[in-house]
Structure 1
Amino acid sequence: MKTKLKLVIFASIVFITASSIAQQKKINVAESTIEWTGKKITGKHTGTLNFSSGFLSFENKQLSGGEFLVDMTSIQVTDLEAGKGKEKLEGHLSSDDFFGVNNYATAKLVIKKATKIANGYKIAGDLTIKGKTNPITFDLAVKGSSASTTLSIDRTKYDIKYGSGSFFDNLGDKAINDEFELAVNLKM
């Protein structure tokens, strides 16, 4: 009887310790969103991308890591209508001039470090786009089963130089900003 009681107590301690130390929360890819904005001299374009998968890791209820895959073939333009340039722009963004989705169908973010700040976490990670990986930092708000952030990405660090005034002269009003913005909302 004492042996059974000891086993039950030991199993309970192991279970409670394991469940309070580490937890991985998968995102709901159907409810999580990525909205992008790309700006140029004469205006801007907006659109969406879809997640393929993703999760956030927690240790002792504190964010400790995570990993996300984005389906780059899902790129959509939302500020233009069908038949009025939408398909043309989506095709150009999918081409090798921009994201080269035939060769690079996914982008990846790996969270390496999460430091608690007043409104959430300061994230340090690695972002891979078009086969190029660079470090990235941004703030992430986490509340219950949701997380959100807005971040800017310098596309030229990922060999996306088309229309960049940093690399080409005499572009005039055809110049495209090097940075694009992402508004990300995660649902778990």
Structure 2
Amino acid sequence: MKHLTFVMALAAMMSLAFTTPVEKAAAYKVDVAGSTVKWTAYKVTGKHFGKINLKSGALEMSKTKLSKASFEVDMTTLTVEDISGEWADKLKGHLISDDFFSIEKFKTAKFVSTKIAPNGKPNGFSVTGDLTIKGITKPITFDVVVKNEAGKVTGTAALKVDRTNYDIKYGSGKFFQGLGDKAIYDEFDLEVTLVAAK
């Protein structure tokens, strides 16, 4: 009996010795002033770009593993930065209209993660979640690089979004024929940098 007890105790100690400690995740609040969201949209004759201010955001992360991510943007802050003056005002007016983002009705857009896993790259993760634009929610997957240093988490991601999934069809060759050089490509890019602290 003593021998059996000794063996069981030894086995328990060995199990503890080789068990990988579970990293405890902590909540981080996004610094909206120190974070950025840049947009770039493409057309046959070129592209336009600008920024949108973050309204809020949150990350959940241990020292090395990202487990949750979410952010909300204030669509009323949309800017156009590749042109200026009257032309910038006209483009912004068009983008906030019902032809595009209907900002009078839908003042925010948001993303909430549903699944996050390492993607095999340094500090890299594959993030899947729900992106809501104009009140329409669709799943999206993208890669993110996250660094956790000195109590501050910085995450950078590039999202490619198909606007037609969110009932934004203006100038889309998928829905209108004969647009020629007036066509606007369906996909636009979002470059998101989130800086967060506990």
Q: Deviations over 1:138-182 (max 9, x none)?
A: 000001221101121000000000000000011111000000011
CA distance in 1, matches of 2:85, 2:113: 37
Which residue among 65, 77, 80 is the counterpart of 1:74?
77
Q: Are 1:151 and 2:153 counterparts?
A: no
Q: Percent identity?
A: 50
Letter in 2 for 1:161: K
| Equivalent in 127, 130, 144 of residue 126 of structure 1 | 130
Q: Give the conservation status (yes or no) of the 8 Å contact 2:100–2:168.
A: yes
Tell me if the contact between 1:69 and 1:106 (Cα under 8 Å) persists in the aligned partners: yes
1:64: Cα distance to partner? Answer: 1.0
Structure 1 distance, partners of 2:61, 2:147, is 13
Structure label with greater radius of gyration: 2
* Count of aligned positions: 168
Q: Secondary structure at the match of 1:165?
A: coil
Q: CA deviation at 1:60?
A: 6.9
> What CA deviation, in whole Å up to 9, does each residue of 1:78-117 have, x standing for no partner?
001123x011101110001000001100001001111012
Say which SS state the counterpart of residue 79 (structure 2) adopts: strand
Structure 1 stretches of at least 4 aligned residues deviating more than 3 Å after TM superposition: none
Gaps of 5+ in 2: 1-22
What amino acid sits opposite 1:159 in the alignment? D
* Contact map agreement 2:159 2:190 (CA 8 A) in 1: yes
User: Secondary structure of 1:73's partner?
Assistant: helix
How many Å separate the matches in 2 of 1:178 and 1:69? 22
| TM norm structure 2 | 0.82
Instruction: Point out where structure 1 has 5 or more consecutive residues left out of the alignment.
Output: 1-19
Structure 1 or 2: more strand by fraction: 1
Which residue is 2:55 aligned to? 52
Residue pair 2:25, 2:67 contacting (<8 A) in 1 also: no
Q: Compute the RMSD of aligned alpha carbons.
A: 1.2
**Displacement after TM superposition at 1:61 (Å):** 4.7
Q: Give the match for residue 135 of structure 1.
A: 139
* Alignment-derived partner of residue 101 in structure 1: 103
